């Protein structure tokens, strides 16, 4: 059995790109590689689902518009990576790693949703060590959020401030979570508040947080237009989770103004809409690159904040998320669209645009 993150010739032999591939090479001239072998893509383009059969009955679809393709990629030359979300603790992580090895699902990032404050130091250290052994990025959520606070506005029909940190104390709690996680070796932090993002970015810039810390914006505050996406990038985001109900054209619009990596649930949890967009995976990559394909799970109860009372559900859903990943990878392979995946172990977002930092008082 292979370790999680490794690839085999079964369906993923074509899906990694060389670290040395130039970013400026057009998609039709890129090559993909695995263990030193290359597969040229110039003479071949992905097949669109059902296209050939539909053409025989006079229902040919429109050809893809080349101008809609994203001109951006990750620094390693790849256009997409994978993420398994809602991995709530060491036991769930172990289940994900075992299932990923069994199903040959390469994993670039593992993320957790309950927050740093819901894990002991020993649990965080165990997760950091396990992810390091498998060359996977670990991303932990920063603590307090509006939906768990005493404020009533989040329980109104309008949703109020949502997950955003309410007041100075909640903001400070998120900062405390970030500092604690960083001290224990975590190098990716998940945030659900613009103020938290900006403060953590400033702390990173001044050296209080390690310079290689990456900041990921939660889908729960995901931007829905190019301007807001660009603002998140400039506030310090290295990875931005957009809502999964954005149209393909809206992703193209975002890519015209920002190269910041995008996170996208191929299957969204019910509280994020429950969308299942697996057949659009290839087009999501083409338009949204650089993009993290997140393998979420609909029709599953919420597990935040996690505890032992939710153990069985959490482990079962963790394994199923990996299986959903296998389904998506198989679909990409069948369509000839599985090329361009970043090498496993890749985590860097590339050079991004930032707002000028204010002078210290």
Mean pLDDT, the chain, as a whole number?
85
In this predicted model, what pLDDT tens digit does every residue of 194-216 receive, in sequence order? 999 999 999 999 999 999 999 99
The encoded tokens of residue 243 equal 């809502």
C-alpha to C-alpha distance for 178 and 248, rounded to whole angstroms: 34
C-alpha to C-alpha distance for 149 and 225, rounded to whole angstroms: 28
Q: Residue 159: what pLDDT?
A: 54
Under the phi-then-psi rule, with left for phi > 0, alpha for psi from -120 to 50, and beta for the rest, what region is 264? beta
Residue 120, pLDDT above cutoff 80: yes
In this predicted model, what pLDDT tens digit does every residue of 299-351 receive, in sequence order? 887 767 777 887 888 899 899 999 999 999 999 999 999 999 999 999 999 99
In this predicted model, what pLDDT tens digit does every residue of 49-105 receive, in sequence order? 888 898 889 888 888 899 999 999 999 999 999 999 999 999 999 999 999 999 999
Domain residue extents for the chain: 69-334
> What is the secondary structure of 195-231 as a DSSP string?
HHHHHHHHHHHHTSS-TT-EEEE-GGG---SHHHHHH
CATH number of 69-334: 3.20.20.70
What end-to-end distance do the CA atoms of the chain give, in Å?
56
The encoded tokens of residue 142 equal 């920063």
| pTM for the model | 0.84
Share of the chain above pLDDT 70, in %: 82
Residue 23, pLDDT above cutoff 70: no
């Amino acid at each position: 059995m292979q370790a999680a993150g490794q690839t085999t010739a079964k369906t993923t032999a074509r899906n990694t790109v060389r670290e040395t591939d130039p970013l400026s090479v057009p998609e039709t001239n890129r090559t993909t590689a695995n263990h030193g072998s290359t597969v040229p893509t110039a003479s071949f383009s992905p097949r669109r689902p059902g296209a050939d059969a539909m053409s025989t009955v006079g229902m040919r679809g429109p050809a893809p518009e080349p101008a809609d393709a994203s001109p951006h990629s990750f620094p390693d030359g790849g256009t997409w990576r994978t993420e398994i979300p809602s991995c709530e603790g060491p036991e769930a992580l172990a289940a994900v790693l075992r299932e990923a090895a069994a199903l040959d699902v390469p994993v670039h990032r593992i993320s957790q949703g309950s927050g740093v404050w819901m894990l002991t130091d020993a649990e965080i250290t165990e997760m950091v060590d396990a992810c390091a052994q498998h060359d996977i990025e670990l991303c932990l959520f920063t603590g307090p959020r509006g939906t768990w606070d005493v404020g009533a506005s989040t329980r109104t029909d309008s949703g109020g401030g949502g997950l955003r940190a309410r007041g100075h104390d909640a903001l400070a709690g998120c900062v405390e979570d970030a500092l604690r996680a960083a001290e224990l070796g975590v190098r990716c932090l998940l945030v659900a508040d613009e103020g938290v993002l900006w403060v953590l970015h400033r702390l990173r810039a001044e050296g209080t947080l390690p310079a290689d810390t990456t900041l990921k914006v939660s889908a729960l505050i995901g931007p829905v237009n190019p301007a807001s996406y660009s603002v998140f990038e400039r506030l310090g985001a290295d990875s931005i989770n957009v809502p999964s109900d954005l149209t393909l054209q809206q992703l193209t619009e975002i890519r015209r103004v920002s190269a910041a990596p995008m996170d996208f649930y191929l299957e969204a949890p019910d509280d994020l809409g429950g969308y299942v967009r697996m057949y659009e995976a290839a087009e999501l990559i083409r338009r949204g690159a650089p993009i993290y394909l997140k393998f979420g799970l609909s029709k599953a109860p919420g597990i935040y904040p996690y505890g032992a009372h939710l153990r069985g559900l959490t482990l079962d859903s963790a394994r199923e998320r990996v299986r959903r990943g296998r389904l998506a990878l198989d679909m990409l392979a069948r369509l000839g669209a599985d090329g361009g995946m970043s090498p496993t172990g890749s985590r860097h977002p590339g050079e991004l645009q930032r707002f000028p930092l204010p002078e210290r008082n």
